[in-house]
Structure 1
Amino acid sequence: MQRDDGELLARVLLSRVVEPGDATVGRWVRELGAEQVARRLREGGPRLGGVSDKRWAGLRDRAALAEPERDLALARDAGVRFVRPGDTEWPAQLDDLGDARPTGLWVRGGAGLRMWALRSVAVVGARACTEYGAHMAATIAAGLAERGWVVVSGGAYGVDGAAHRGALGARGATVAVLACGVDRPYPRGHAGLITRIAGQGLVVGELPPGEHPTPSRFLVRNRVIAALTRGTVVVEAAHRSGSLVTARAAQRLGRFVMGVPGPATSALSAGVHGLLREEAVLVTDAAEVVELVGEMGELAPERRGPVLPHDLLPPAVRHVLAAIPGGRAATAAEIARGARTTEDDAVARLYELRALGYAERHDDGWRLTRRAVICARAGRAEC
């Protein structure tokens, strides 16, 4: 047996006995060590501080029923391992959670969690998302995967599932952080997806084999998603969405928070728009996400409209072109006044415009060609 077998079994026991994110028990572990806390829960003794007699009795009852050796055996049979603080695979950024950090993580999949987490981004959002939300989540996730980033989400319906599928479709890396045992995929409709993630990526959770999800476990799970990644992208979220819990946890931890805007009238985007009014950064694609969370120099391409041929005209020629009336012919003197130049200069520019197909001579005046009028109205790049 290894010297730290006792500490391993103690942390496995605590993962069964204590609800995720319990900062009081986390403080006990920090001050006394996992083995001492497990021993006090198993063997009794004075109640540890910070809990009532009733809660202490509940923890002791659960500890009496815990079988850490059996949990480890079940995990091994399911291809699951237990990763704890201090292990080579433990992501150090989870320590930012302080006393609320996980006692350990159950991990399913062949990749190394620590290395993957170093270059990861969370993509989260509404379960009942729109087609737009699913499209944006999948597109951003695929773009991140193509750029070598790991996409982290919660495995749920809607935006989470779209993000995972986008990364997998791009043959990239993705991590699902579950609010239940990693041996029992949830939701059941995503059993195939989560199995695929375990084969191509990683499935992670705080709860031991066989544990079921609860509403509170979903919310507490979100802090792990926030801490594990460099930043969180929220695609669609209503005002009370659990995705906002992830975003606000990321803000508290000093991570980047990004939001994808939706229609101003959409209730599913109201929560995202609230984030954008506060401290979140607006993003629309993977390049903009990487510009924020990536290394110096990883810049998104500059956004601009198409360059039209008349944009390339010298300023003096553009001024004369703008002075030609749209629906009638005008004299060179009238055009010169509109362009604030001399009549001789206007005539010279008008002949340039004639050669380029923008103006034509009409008796003693000048007018725009039909092509120039159509292009001015349509803004067509080929004009």
Structure 2
Amino acid sequence: MMQTLAAGLALFALFVRESLGCPGGCICTMRYSAPAANCAYGSFQLVPVGLPSNLSSLTLSANAITFLQSSSFEEVPHVSSLWLAHNEIESIQRGTFAVLAELKSLDLSHNHVRNFPWEDLASLTILIYLKIDNNWLTSLPRDAFSGLKSLRSLHINNNRLTTIFKGTFDSLDLLSNLQIHDNQFNCTCPLQWLKEWAANTKISIAEQDSIVCFSPKPLQGIPFGKTPKLQCSPPYVKISYHPTTELQEDHRLMLHCNVTGSPCPNIKWKIQATKTEICDFTPDGEYQKWDLTRSPNSHKLDSYLVFPNRTLVITHVRRGAEGLYTCVATNDLGTGEDSVEVSITSSLNAQHFGVRVHRSNATRELQHGKVIVLSPPGEGIGRNRGDTALKAPAWFWIFTILIFRL
């Protein structure tokens, strides 16, 4: 009797599996009146084919899957729960999850994912539960979760993230649980916002004592919430120039880029006259000259001198040097820039020329081939955010002039 019953049950299970189109190695059942496939603890290296098209839940945890293709889940577009934890997934093609518009739960934890197709999340508008913890993620786009209006639980802990951009969680209105601990956070200015945000948010942030600094070295191992407040500011730029009042053609013009900001900004000069960037400065004062475009009207590279203190010298101001000279400074908090214009201006006597250096709001007066800049030196049209910049000291200009006169 018992043998007959067991045989009947086996036949019934086989019938259910076949009727649901269940591939070998998977157990297909009806769960809460919806078809579900459990393919966990197998030896799958790829997502199996032949799954029921109306599948609602798919479990592929604890297999040997290493790669997800964009077509991996095309057969099961109605899946609402997808479990992929404890595989060996390293690569995920763009579009892999975009076809799963009904997905509510996604678990990719405990894999080797380095690059996640964040743009796929834009299609998962009803996703509630997202686990990508215990992977190898190194970066997180600012808008990664911008489309997840229904998300309530987010786990990105135990990765290799060095920073999280301000505003990353702003669109997650329903988020109630967040896990970001055990990453490799660089506790510098770009991450300062997170300290204040974590202290004031109503979202439950798990294991806050494990949100520790990986760098810089003096803060290594210190919980992020206990780090000292850093003085951070975006770049502020002002160009000062010499001479400041009048200049004749073929004279020497010195432009100095005065910059403040923390962390120390990267700086470059952009010259509209030659449609190029003449040099890049690193925060420690090193710089690299860029080759200028060679054309009959271009100003030759040897007509410019560049110094580690960010001073640009036009050795002979002539027609080829006309244009807008802009100093651009950039750090992790933003960009600042300031510009001056250099141009040759004819006087009433056509045989004489003058050189004009000005800002857009400077009042200028032409006198016998010269243009006098009436605005205070160093004040002008810079587009900046930050603290007041320091101007080049007077001794610098005297020292530079003496060098050129030798």
TM-score by length of 1: 0.24
Higher relative contact order (CA 8 A, sep 6+): 1
Structure 1 or 2: larger strand share? 2
Structure 1 or 2: larger helix share? 1
TM-score by length of 2: 0.23
